[in-house]
């Protein structure tokens, strides 16, 4: 695909009544990064959909523009003319209050509008955003907050673009690669798992006041946490291989009832994207099939698998509150999208008495159901559908992955998926009681 440059550029707003200028630089960089992530793909790549949970890249490109058009431009830019009235049906994701939409499992059927028209839509929206934020609009902080939300929303879709294209290429018998293979990380012996004790107590949980956070990270509240022990790193591929060799996928007593039903029905025998070839284990990556890295965190496992492994190891998954307390000892950084590895890697730092790889590499399953915090109130309007209506039958994950954009992660961030889902870079870290 020929790269289409974004029209937004980081300048300062002249309006003295709007504080949106603080978000302009991030907005421009984020919109541009989305196009750069799509650049290695063909038009055919961007129109296909691997499965019901995934979406075509073309849809992501359009939906993120629809989000700004719907929630920012129509609200704040006087005289704004929508690009195409039919796009609301095509590119609305799940906002019931905004009307009917294309069913998610059938987004791959949207061969029209064409990729060229979707890219023209992005340019139309970017030009309008530029007019809005640089003409000076007296909107208090409302515009700035919506621009910030739009940036974080687009960063979520940047991660989804990469995981969805990985799912697509893994389903292709040619096993294509998103980009050429780079130098293979040097293998090292898997270090023994170390354990860190935490005293527990009454702990503050949730987003700090002042910084950006999604509504599901609030309100900040106290949680009673019993003393616990947490592994210093995520579970590694080599340790998962031991689970496989020991019959982990063939032992019903290790599994939750729904998990065993899923394993039996789906025929799971290893993490998603693992395959055995000539006696060696390979893993499908964004660089095509690659030899498994024994000392890298295991990825693409469901909650059911993570829970079964923890039982097999004689441990358990941490609660999301335990995870957040432990994350306070770790810097927010690591193998995120900005490192450009595009796959989980072995720990870059040596043991220093604190948790490692808390951020980046893999989203870590917790034992916690995705539920509202005490005192949570779902926001009014269509944006109230962003998080709150999904607070049932899902599980919380923490920490980000190797394709989570930099600047998008924080200790209070709550991701959530259904227990059977594993196309994301999802892994686990073990926890235990203190004897």
The number of C-alpha atoms within 13 Å of 278 and in the hemisphere containing its C-beta is: 1
**What was the pLDDT predicted at 386?**
86
Q: Is the pLDDT of residue 122 over 60?
A: yes
Two tokens, residue 263: 């394993």
Nearest partner of 342 among 275, 415, 405, judged by Cα = 405
Give the separation between CA 104 and CA 113, rounded to whole angstroms: 16
Give the separation between CA 231 and CA 236, rounded to whole angstroms: 12
Two tokens, residue 403: 């394709």
**What was the pLDDT predicted at 210?**
83
**What was the pLDDT predicted at 6?**
37
Tell me which of 19-23, 32-36, 248-252, 257-261 is least confident: 19-23
> What's the length of the chain?
435
Q: Is the pLDDT of residue 11 over 70?
A: no
Tell me which of 26-40, 80-94, 213-227, 379-393 is least confident: 379-393
426-427 and 363-369: which strand pairing? parallel
Tell me which of 14-18, 184-188, 398-402 is least confident: 14-18
**What was the pLDDT predicted at 135?**
67
pLDDT band at 124 (very low <50, low <70, confident <90, very high): very high
**What was the pLDDT predicted at 187?**
67
DSSP 18: B
**What was the pLDDT predicted at 4?**
38
Cis bond before residue 113 (omega within 30° of 0): yes
pTM listed for this prediction? 0.93
Give the separation between CA 246 and CA 240, rounded to whole angstroms: 10
**What was the pLDDT predicted at 2?**
35
Q: Is the pLDDT of residue 435 over 90?
A: no
**What was the pLDDT predicted at 23?**
61
Q: 123 in helix, strand or coil?
A: helix
**What was the pLDDT predicted at 24?**
76
Query: Which residues, 6 or more positions from 86, have their beta carbon under 8 angstroms from its beta carbon?
Result: none
**What was the pLDDT predicted at 19?**
45
Over residues 117-122, the mean pLDDT reads 98
Q: Please give, one letter per residue, the 3-state secondary structure of 50-109.
A: CCCCCCCHHHHHHHHHHHHHHHHHHHHCCCCCCCCCCHHHHHCCCCHHHCCCCCHHHHHH
- What is the H or E stretch that residue 434 is in? none
- What is the H or E stretch that residue 33 is in? helix 21-38
Contact 133, 24 (CB under 8 A): yes
Give the separation between CA 132 and CA 115, rounded to whole angstroms: 26
Share of the chain above pLDDT 90, in %: 81
Which tens digit of pLDDT belongs to each residue from 284-315?
999 999 999 999 999 999 999 999 999 999 99
In terms of Cβ atoms closer than 10 Å to its own Cβ (0-12, 13-18, 19+), residue 111 is: exposed
**What was the pLDDT predicted at 18?**
42
Q: Is the pLDDT of residue 7 over 80?
A: no
Tell me which of 138-152, 155-169, 215-229, 386-400 is least confident: 138-152
Contact 207, 410 (CB under 8 A): yes
**What was the pLDDT predicted at 209?**
86
What is the average pLDDT value for the chain, to the nearest integer?
91
Residue located via tokens 């295991």:
298
Over residues 182-196, the mean pLDDT reads 82
**What was the pLDDT predicted at 48?**
98
Over residues 408-428, the mean pLDDT reads 97
């Amino acid at each position: 695909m020929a790269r289409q440059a974004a029209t937004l550029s980081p300048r300062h707003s002249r309006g003295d009544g709007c504080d949106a200028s603080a978000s302009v630089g991030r907005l421009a960089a984020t919109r541009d990064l989305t196009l750069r992530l799509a650049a290695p793909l063909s038009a055919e790549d961007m129109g296909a959909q691997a499965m019901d949970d995934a979406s075509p890249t073309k849809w992501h490109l359009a939906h993120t523009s629809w989000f700004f058009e719907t929630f920012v431009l129509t609200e704040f830019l006087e005289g704004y003319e929508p690009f195409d009235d039919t796009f609301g049906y095509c590119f609305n994701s799940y906002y019931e209050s905004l009307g009917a939409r294309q069913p998610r499992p059938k987004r791959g059927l949207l061969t029209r509008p064409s990729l060229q028209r979707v890219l023209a839509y992005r340019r139309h929206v970017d030009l309008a955003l530029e007019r809005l934020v640089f003409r000076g609009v007296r909107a208090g902080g409302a515009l700035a907050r919506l621009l910030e939300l739009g940036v974080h929303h687009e960063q979520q879709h940047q991660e989804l673009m990469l995981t969805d294209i990985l799912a697509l290429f893994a389903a292709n018998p040619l096993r294509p690669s998103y980009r050429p293979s780079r130098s293979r990380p040097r293998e090292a012996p898997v270090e023994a798992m170390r354990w860190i004790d935490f005293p527990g107590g009454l702990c503050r949980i949730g987003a700090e006041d002042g910084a950006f956070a999604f509504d599901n990270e609030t309100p900040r509240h106290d949680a009673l946490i019993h003393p616990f022990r947490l592994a210093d790193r995520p579970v590694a591929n080599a340790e998962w291989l031991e689970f496989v060799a020991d019959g982990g996928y063939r032992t019903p007593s290790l599994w939750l009832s729904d998990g065993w039903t899923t394993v039996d029905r789906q025929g799971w025998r290893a993490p998603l994207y693992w395959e055995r070839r000539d006696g060696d284990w390979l893993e499908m990556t964004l660089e095509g099939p690659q030899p498994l890295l024994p000392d890298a965190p295991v990825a693409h496992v469901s909650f059911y698998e993570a829970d079964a492994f923890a039982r097999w190891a004689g441990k358990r998954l941490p609660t999301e509150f335990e995870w957040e307390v432990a994350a306070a000892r770790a810097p927010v950084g690591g193998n995120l999208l900005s490192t450009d590895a595009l796959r989980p890697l072995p720990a870059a730092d040596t043991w220093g008495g604190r948790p490692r790889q808390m951020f980046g590499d893999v989203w870590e399953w917790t034992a916690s159901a995705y539920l509202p915090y005490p005192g949570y109130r779902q926001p009014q309007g269509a944006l109230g559908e962003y998080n709150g209506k999904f607070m049932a039958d899902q599980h919380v994950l923490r920490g980000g992955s190797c394709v989570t954009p930099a600047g998008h992660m924080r200790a209070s961030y709550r991701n959530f998926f259904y227990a059977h889902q594993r196309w994301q870079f999802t892994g686990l870290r073990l926890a235990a009681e203190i004897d």
